[in-house]
Amino acid sequence: MDLIDLDNNPAVVPQYNLDDEQEKKEIVRHYRALLRSLRTKLKKGDKELLRTAFEMAADAHKTMRRKSGEPYILHPLAVAMICVDEIGLGVRSTICALLHDTVEDTDIALDDIKNEFGNEIAKIVDGLTKISTIMDANSSQQAENFKKILLTLTDDPRVILIKLADRLHNMRTLDAMKHEKQLKIASETIWVYAPLAHRMGLYNLKTELEDLSMKYMEPETYKEIAKKLAETKRERTKYINEFTRPLKEKLTQAEFEFEIQGRPKSIHSIWNKIKKKGVSFEEVYDLFAIRVILDVPLDKEKEDCWKVYSLITDEYLPSPERLRDWLSNPKSNGYEALHTTVMGPQGKWVEVQIRTKRMNEIAEKGLAAHFKYKEGSQDEDRFDKWFVQIREALSNQQEDGIDFLQDFKTSFLAEEIYVYTPKGEVKMLPINSSALDFAFFIHTAIGSKCIGAKVNHKLVPIGHKLRSGDQIEIITSNKQKPTEDWLQNVVTAKAKNSIKDALREEKKHISEEGKYTLQRKLEGIGAVYNTYNIDQVMNYYKLTSHLDLLFKIATKNLDLKELKLFQVIGEKIEAPKPVIIASENIQETNTNKQLPKKDSELIIFGEKSDKIKYSLGKCCNPIPGDDVFGFVSTAKGLIIHRTSCPNATQLLANYGHRVVKTKWAKNKEISFLTGLSIVGMDDVGIVNKITNIISGELKINIAALTIESKDGLFQGTIKVYVLDKDELEELVERIKSLDGIQQVSRFDTETV
Ligand code: MN
């Protein structure tokens, strides 16, 4: 539950005394403030319901305190207040917010809530509880948690809105937590909650979550930027006034009802700019957006926004590439506005956002405001569409949590582009979508048959990245079918899932053949083909599904040689103890000069300790930086091979279960012997030039060097000690750049 909630372990403070008048007053004060905020939304009977919820929560949490020491009930009260004031939610959501931690942390059961408040509220509280009750653990479980959040989200979006309010209050009160906990919570917030808030259209909430996360994750930078912002405030205000004065006059003359706001960018977004563009604070601190908010009737909105645009650009010159029209094409999170960037006084570029009061409320309060204005909006089903897409993605749950989270982030939390069908229909896709994504977006059948596309009438490959405004015509062929590498060409969950489905079907089809082979071989040893026996074989080869086993057999990646070692008892077979496989073409290495080497430079996945003894395959002489895998040989322990090793295919194919993933860690203290072969024009002094680069400039140790020359050509081999692949690559580049050198290659197969 750590992912979600800070309050999982409220300390019980025995000396807590409910009679403490001060605290009681404080609690009641917060409750009254909440009622005041809800005032306009209260219908008959609501006040009583709220009171019941408040008393129920206060009583349930009465012995609990937050880490900060304050009475626990202040937290649900604060969360409820955020729901009302900052997200614009109503009475029912407030009740849920008040009760959000009761089922998880107190004696109150879901049925109690159901009896008191009915089904709708009980369901939301249940959703909130479920998100919180998953155990704190590693990242993959966190990802699983997130998946669960989204499952509840699709039932009722209010669950996620209340959860965001909960997270915001926890972030605001993070000071009381231990440092490691702060980091953990802050990083989850920046990873999942801030993008989610953004996607729900809650811009203010998103900005605050980002700033708060940064405060804990990058405290120094945060403080520095905050300080500089404070120091430059007067200067900025002066400029904003200078900029807006003529605009105010013009708008007043034109008899608009309006408000103009000028705000600096958030600390987090300034920091992002500094990082991304590699600029200094001084170059970005004066970036701010001017917001013109119009009070106009719904049917005049678009017209008036453009009128204001015209007035502004009469005064200041606009940058033609920086016009964004989200009036005609709102973002899928509901955002509508007209953005332009103009040249202000002193030659500074200033972004101006033109919107109406309604649009502004949607921009600040997102989903809830959107519902409020729903009848008036032409895009009332935009959110519904988003939820439908999420639901579709969730219904395909084969992948594990981390993949899912990754997909979700690129697919649903990314910014969008707008593209057009040949008929001019507009479609929205996540940024970085390809022609293939578009094809699948239109229809699975079109995606599966896609061989390319015409983008703006030009022929492009399926992986071509689309840009806003592109018009796409998909080209299909009946002979086409999805392949594994298509997955690299798409970002949308829909395309990924469709491709995976197709591949799975294909695999099933191929596996049919493996079924016959296995049946024959089982019968060959006097056993029958049944689930028990297939399980035995599957487990023996350390595979996880029958499909994988049959597929491997069908594609001749598994020859079932060891099957004859199985014992047959009646109808059942029993796997033998692991057999010793003769070690193949592997010798103990230790050609390395500076031994003993540290074992920790290699990370071996799936193993508890990274201090595992290993040796390097003689057949391919891997060096740090190479793509490698580990092979468990019975005679020599773990041996590291390059994935390009001539023995690799055979080892991977036949002894897949003995392969462990490995990778190099940074370690500059050891060096590895490797060899280069060089071919070039015979030239006096070439040896000198080469050795000069190696030992003179790059300070690499040479172990041996031989050069043979014949008919004006020379061929040489050099054995050198390098730290890693990068160093070897640099060396190769340098030698290649010498006059007369034609070819430099590393030798793979020979023994160095
Ligand atoms: Mn909470």
User: Please, what are the domains in the chain?
Assistant: 2-217 (1.10.3210.10), 226-374 (3.30.460.10), 672-747 (3.30.70.260)
- Looking at residue 20, what is its pLDDT? 76
Cis peptide before 320 (omega within 30 of 0): no
Å from CA of 106 to ligand 1 middle:
12
How would residue 592 be classed by pLDDT, with cut points 50, 70 and 90? very low
Q: pLDDT tens across 13-52, in order?
A: 334 455 578 888 899 999 999 999 998 888 888 999 999 9
Angle formed by the axes of helices 493-524 and 435-442, to 10°? 90
Confirm if 215 and 209 have CB atoms less than 8 A apart.
no
Label residues 304-333 b or e (16+ Cβ within 10 Å = b). bbebbbebbeeebeeeeeeeebbbeebbbb
**Higher per-residue confidence, 618 vs 612:** 618
Decide if 220 is catalytic. no
Q: How far apart are CA 375 and CA 162, in angstroms?
A: 24
User: Does pLDDT of 269 surpass 70?
Assistant: yes
State the catalytic residue, choosing from 7, 86, 104, 470: 104
pLDDT at res. 81: 95
The CA-based angle 454-457-463, given to 5 degrees, is 30
Dist. CA 126 → ligand 1 center (Å):
13
484 burial type by CB count under 10 A (0-12 exposed, 13-18 middle, 19+ buried)? exposed
What letters, b where the CB count within 10 A reaches 16 and e where it falls short, cover 355-392?
bbebbbbbbbbbbbbbbbeeeebebeebbeebeebbee
Catalytic residue among 5, 7, 101, 105: 105
* Token reading at 35: 């009622």
Q: How far is the CA of 122 from the centre of ligand 1 (A)?
A: 16
Q: Catalytic residue at 351? A: no
Integer Cα distance of 90 and 34 in angstroms: 11
**Listed residue (106, 157, 101) closest to 130, CA to CA:** 101
Distance CA 174, CA 209 (A): 12
Which strand (E) or helix (H) includes residue 111? helix 110-117
pLDDT at site 383: 56
75 CA → ligand 1 middle, Å: 7
Q: How far is CA 157 from CA 181, 259, 332, 451, 475, in A?
A: 28, 32, 15, 39, 38
State the distance from the centre of ligand 1 to the C-alpha of 74, rounded, in angstroms. Answer: 10
> What does the alpha-carbon distance between residue 63 and residue 71 come to, in Å, rounded to a whole number?
8
Provide the H-helix boundaries in 254-381.
267-277, 281-284, 301-315, 357-365, 367-372
Could you tell me the distance, in angstroms and rounded to a whole number, from the CA of residue 169 to the centre of ligand 1?
8
Task: Look at residues 553, 542, 551 and name the one whose alpha carbon lies nearest to residue 518.
Answer: 553
Tell me, in angstroms, the distance from the centre of ligand 1 to residue 100's CA.
Answer: 6
Reported as a pLDDT band with limits 50, 70 and 90, residue 410 is low
Q: Exposure string (b/e) for 547-562, b if CB count within 10 Å is 16 or more? A: bbbbbbbbeeebebeb
Res 609: pLDDT:
34
Query: What's the pLDDT score for residue 398?
Result: 54
The whole-number average pLDDT for the span 583-594 is 35
**pLDDT (0 to 100) of residue 250:** 94
Name the residue with tokens 């013109």: 292
Q: Which of 334, 331, 313 is nearest to 322 (CA)?
A: 313
Other beta carbons less than 10 A from residue 214's beta carbon: 22
Up-side HSE of residue 19: CA atoms within 13 Å toward CB? 1
Residue 618 has a pLDDT of 79
Q: Which of 384, 377, 249 is nearest to 301 (CA)?
A: 377
How many whole angstroms separate alpha carbon 74 and alpha carbon 187? Answer: 25
Which residue did the predictor score with more confidence, 555 or 256? Answer: 256
Q: What is the mean pLDDT of residues 261-271?
A: 85
Q: How confident is the model at residue 285 (pLDDT cuts 50, 70, 90)?
A: low
Q: What's the whole-number mean pLDDT along residues 103-122?
A: 90
Rounded to whole angstroms, the Cα distance separating 85 from 70 reads: 22
Q: In 30-67, which positions are buried (b, 16+ CB within 10 angstroms) versus exposed (e)? A: bbeebbeebeeeeeeebeebbeebbebbbebbeebbbb
293, 265 Cβ separation under 8 angstroms:
no
Compare 90 and 156 and report the one with higher pLDDT. Answer: 90
Residue 131 C-alpha to ligand 1 middle, in angstroms?
Answer: 11
Identify whether the C-beta of residue 678 lies closer than 8 Å to the C-beta of residue 727.
no
pLDDT score recorded for residue 748: 53
Q: What pLDDT sits at residue 154? A: 55
For 265-293, give one letter per residue: b (16+ CB within 10 A) or e.
bbbbebbebbeeeeeebeebbbbbebbbb
Measured distance between the N- and C-terminal CA atoms of the chain, rounded to whole angstroms: 54
pLDDT recorded at residue 143? 58
State whether the Cα torsion 151-153-154-156 is positive or negative.
positive
The phi-psi region of residue 498 (left if phi > 0; otherwise alpha if psi is between -120 and 50; otherwise beta) is alpha
Listing DSSP states for 489-501 in one string gives G--SHHHHHHHHH
CA of 7 to the centre of ligand 1 (A): 6
Q: If you search the block for the tokens 């709220």, which residue do you land on?
A: 50
User: How many Å lie between the centroid of ligand 1 and the Cα of residue 701?
Assistant: 61
- Give whichever of 18-27, 171-180, 663-672, 685-694 has the largest mean pLDDT: 171-180
Q: How confident is the model at residue 82 (pLDDT cuts 50, 70, 90)?
A: very high
Strand partners, 714: 680, 709
Q: Which two tokens stand for residue 298?
A: 């719904």
Q: Are 58 and 118 in contact (CB under 8 A)?
A: no
Which ranges of 156-300 does DSSP label H, i.e. alpha helix?
157-172, 179-188, 194-199, 203-217, 219-231, 233-253, 267-277, 281-284
Number of other CB atoms surrounding residue 694 within 10 Å: 21
Residue 590 pLDDT class (50, 70, 90 cuts): very low
Closest C-alpha among 72, 70, 68, 89 to residue 80: 89
Q: Which residues have CB under 8 Å from 115's CB, separation 6+?
A: none
How far, in Å, from the CA of 190 to the mean position of ligand 1?
A: 18
Please list the alpha-helical segments (H only) found in 485-565.
Answer: 493-524, 531-540, 546-554
| 161 touches 89 (CB < 8 A) | yes
Q: How far is the CA of 105 from the centre of ligand 1 (A)?
A: 10
Beta bridge partners of 68: none
More confident residue, 160 or 415: 160
CB half-sphere exposure, 697, CA atoms < 13 A: 12
In what helix (H) or strand (E) does residue 615 lie, and over which residues does it extend?
Answer: strand 614-616
Most confident of 112-116, 151-155, 316-320, 584-588: 112-116
Residue 664 backbone phi and psi in degrees, to 5: -90, 145
pLDDT tens track for 355-373:
999 888 878 776 666 555 5
Residue 711 has pLDDT above 60, yes or no: yes
Cα–chain center distance at 568 = 49
Look at 750 and 158; give whichever has higher pLDDT. Answer: 158
Q: What is the mean pLDDT of residues 705-720?
A: 78
**HSE-CB of 31 using CA atoms within 13 angstroms:** 18
What is the rounded distance in angstroms from the CA atom of residue 398 to the CA atom of residue 401? 9
Task: List the single range of 272-286, 379-393, 461-475, 714-728 with lowest mean pLDDT.
Answer: 379-393
Statement: residue 301 has pLDDT above 80: yes
697 DSSP assignment = I
| Å from CA of 17 to ligand 1 middle | 22
Helix (H), strand (E) counts: the chain: 29, 24
Return d(Cα 529, Cα 21) in angstroms, integer: 77
